[in-house]
């Protein structure tokens, strides 16, 4: 897929089916992207149905202007601000929330965004280009310890310390402002790498996750989605990274398990804590045919739960 190419929505059919959509229901697409899931949801809703979509990327918001539908509202917010977006939309309860987290193909394929080392471009990496610190600005001030922690924790990179030292030493001579500069430094510091993987892959991923606070956004968004769901409402989350999937899996499992109480408390059965979610099926992954058609779908995992 190249810049300007068609964006392929991952697990499109499976995601919309997992929401068990009611024709007159109210739904949230917390990650609009280029609108693949939103358009499919709208096609299932009747005239009384409603869909609110969120995205923090101004380019995604611009793309969403093509949807002229009175049932649809697109909000320029990160999904960590789900509760605020729902309140502004006048929604107090919804029948389903869908997350498709991580970086999108249009963001990767637009070299000027700085997400990919395939292009020598400004080292930006912000999903919301209207606010916040760029990757270049953060690398210009971060200490060796901070850079090491980010690359090790978010990239699972065993040469994180060596990369951090090289970055801090190099910026004394010249500011690190392009993807090409950063990628070259990483490649110099990484001594061995898995066959077929560029040495810069893990560090670019780590820096992007940190700049956009992607894992923190997910951690704060999931409880908001649970609170917003009506009983019987569905929560579906597609993730592309093991760290994201772990957050989703642990959240859903914790909410599907009753709170533990001390033994021998004099409580009746109806007084015992109840779980808030019911897990729906097993984790869903793309089919071989979908992966062949869209290799970027390979790492996708979808988990679904229903509010009790």
Q: Which positions make up the binding site for S-adenosyl-L-methionine? A: 35-37, 55, 79, 100, 107
In the numeric block, which tokens belong to residue 10?
Answer: 């991952």
Binding-site annotation, residues:
35-37, 55, 79, 100, 107
The answer to whether the CB of 163 falls within 8 A of the CB of 186 is: yes
Q: Which residue reads 């009746």 in tokens? A: 268
- CB environment 176-186: b (16+ within 10 A), e (fewer): bbbbebbbbbb
In angstroms, the CA 23 to CA 124 distance is: 41
Distances (CA, A) of 72 to 33, 53, 75, 99, 277: 15, 8, 10, 17, 27
Write out the DSSP string of 48-94.
Answer: T-EEEEEES-HHHHHHHTT---TTEEEEES-GGGHHHHHHHTT-S-E
Backbone angles phi, psi at 60, to 5 degrees: -65, -40
Distance between CA atoms of 45 and 65, rounded to whole angstroms?
19
Beta bridge partners of 74: 53
Q: Is 303 helix (H, G, I), strand (E, B) or coil?
A: strand
Helix 242-255 and helix 214-228, axial crossing angle in degrees, nearest 10:
30
């Amino acid at each position: 897929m190249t810049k300007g190419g068609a964006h392929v929505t991952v697990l499109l059919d499976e995601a919309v089916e997992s929401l068990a959509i009611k024709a007159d229901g109210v739904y949230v697409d917390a990650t609009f992207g280029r609108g693949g899931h939103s358009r499919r949801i709208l096609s299932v809703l009747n005239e009384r149905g409603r869909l609110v979509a969120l995205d923090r990327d101004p380019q995604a918001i611009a793309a969403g202007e093509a949807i002229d539908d009175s049932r649809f509202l697109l909000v320029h917010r990160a999904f960590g601000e789900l509760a605020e977006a729902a309140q502004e939309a006048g929604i107090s309860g919804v029948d389903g929330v869908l997350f498709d987290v991580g970086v999108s193909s249009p963001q990767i394929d637009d070299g000027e965004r700085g997400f990919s080392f395939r292009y020598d471009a400004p080292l930006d990496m912000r999903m919301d280009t209207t606010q916040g610190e760029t990757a270049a600005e953060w690398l210009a001030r971060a200490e060796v310890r901070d850079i090491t922690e980010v690359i090790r924790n978010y990239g699972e990179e065993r040469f994180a310390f060596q990369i951090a030292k090289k970055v801090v030493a190099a910026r004394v001579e010249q500011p690190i402002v392009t993807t090409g500069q950063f990628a070259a430094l990483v490649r110099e510091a990484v001594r061995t790498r898995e066959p077929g993987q560029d040495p810069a892959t893990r560090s670019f991923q780590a820096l992007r996750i940190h700049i956009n606070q992607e894992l923190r956004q997910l951690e704060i968004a999931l409880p908001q989605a649970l609170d917003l769901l009506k009983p019987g409402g569905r929560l579906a989350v597609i993730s592309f990274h093991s760290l994201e999937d772990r957050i989703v899996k642990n959240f859903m499992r914790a909410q599907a398990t009753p709170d533990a109480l001390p033994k021998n408390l004099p409580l009746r059965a109806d007084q015992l804590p109840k779980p808030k979610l019911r897990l729906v099926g097993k984790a869903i992954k793309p089919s071989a045919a979908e992966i062949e058609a869209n290799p970027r779908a390979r790492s996708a995992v979808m988990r679904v739960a229903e509010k009790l």
